[in-house]
Structure 1
Amino acid sequence: MAAATQLPAFLVLNADQSIASRYDPKELSDEELVERAHAELFHITRAYAELMQRYQRTLFNVCARYLGNERDADDVCQEVMLKVLYGLRNFEGKSKFKTWLYSITYNECITQYRKERRKRRLMDALSLDPLEEASEEKAPKLEERGGLDRWLVHVNSIDREILVLRFVAELEFQEIADIMHMGLSATKMRYKRALDRLREKFSGLAEP
């Protein structure tokens, strides 16, 4: 698997050169980093860079498992990072930072998924094989991977989103419900039913 998405070079550079900020970002909580970022952006990106570095691997894994290939996942991760960069100063802290982050990620994944689905429909209408235009380095499909990816192909898109946010992002049910604009009980019910369906196909599936 490809390495998790890296921060854009100019952001890392700004973060490293922020000598005016006399604090260690690794010692701060997400909430404290958000406060720092409010004061720093856009002149300094130190707090923002630390937030992204904390979540970039999980962010990439969420996107890769939802979208099914690493190329699209990397593109979506870059878009999410930019949306966080430009939206962070307006984040009011009404939810946890990670809930807000994965809400943006969820919406971007849906946008990319729909875009790819429209593209495939167009290719089908033109009788073209979408695999023909893929490079030799095309990332593997979900069906070719093991672990969680092997399970996800057996559930519908909504249940897949819930499972990814629960298993990969490790979010609480209330956070998942908020992100997906669903009720808490409905979220838990869909989660349980999805696991029940998967248990019919695979054994040894444990809840996080």
Structure 2
Amino acid sequence: MVSLNRPRRHYNPADLDDEELVLRAKSELIHTTTAYEELMRRYQRTLFNVCVRYLGNERDADDVCQEVMLKVLHGLKQFEGKAKFKTWLYSITYNECITQYRKEKRKRRLLDALSLDPQEEAEEQELQPQASKGLNSLLVHVNPIDREILVLRFVAELEFQEIADIMHMGLSATKMRYKRALEKLRNQIDSPFI
């Protein structure tokens, strides 16, 4: 008779690469989350930094990170591995950041339409620590798509093809927007009014 409680072969998740962890997580997720937790641990800080840079505040970034981790947990079984795990993860992150950004934009429009004084919200945001103030203040001068390209390139350290895949753009268009965004940032840095 075969024992159903037979011990699983132990492994050190830190010794495995992303592909091996994905395979393990897919087979383990009903029973254990060891491989999944290692995947999230590896990308947690960068994921948070990407969200903060895109959304502009830590509160929303934390919410989006939690949502991304849940989507990865529930979607990992369907991950086919056609792209790298890292690319898939940042694609989910990008989409969640856009969703959050749109929610905040609608909320601001609603406050304006209702003629409410958003002073209470402004005071709340003033109390938050300003992470990477210098880069964030420069990124506000770049449109949201170009800002995301810069964030994915510098913060997430993705290749141009990975960025193009995440943003559903052609490779040459991605590189062109990246180059123009860098040029705009350089002009901002050189400007005497900053």
| Same structural fold, with TM-score higher than 0.5 when normalized by the shorter chain | yes
Question: Which amino acid counterpart does residue 69 of structure 1 have in structure 2?
Answer: N
CA-to-aligned-CA distance 1:86-141 (integer Å, 9 cap, x gap): 00011010000000000000000000000000000000111123341464785356
- 1:161-176, aligned counterparts within 5 Å? 161-176=148-163
TM-score by length of 2: 0.89
Query: 1:201 aligned to 180, 188, 192, which one?
Result: 188
Q: Does 1:25 align with 2:13?
A: yes
Cα displacement (A) at 1:148: 2.2
Number of equivalences: 183
Distance 2:126 2:143 in 1: 28
Query: Which SS does the other structure have where 1:202 is aligned?
Result: helix
Partner of 2:47: 59
Partner of 2:128: 139
Which sections of structure 2, spanning at least 5 residues, go unmatched?
Answer: 1-6
Query: 1:122 aligned to 89, 107, 110, which one?
Result: 110
Question: Which amino acid counterpart does residue 41 of structure 1 have in structure 2?
Answer: L
CA RMSD of aligned residues (A): 1.8
Distance 1:201 1:92 in 2: 42
Query: Which SS does the other structure have where 1:104 is aligned?
Result: helix
Partner of 2:169: 182
Partner of 2:145: 158
CA separation of 1:114/1:29 partners in 2, compared to 1, >3 Å: closer, same or farther? same
Partner of 2:4: none
Name the % identity: 77
Distance 2:104 2:136 in 1: 19
Query: 2:24 aligned to 33, 36, 51, which one?
Result: 36
TM-score by length of 1: 0.83
Partner of 1:14: none
Partner of 1:86: 74
Which sections of structure 1, spanning at least 5 residues, go unmatched?
Answer: 1-18, 204-208
Q: Which structure has the bigger radius of gyration? A: 2
Cα displacement (A) at 1:147: 3.5
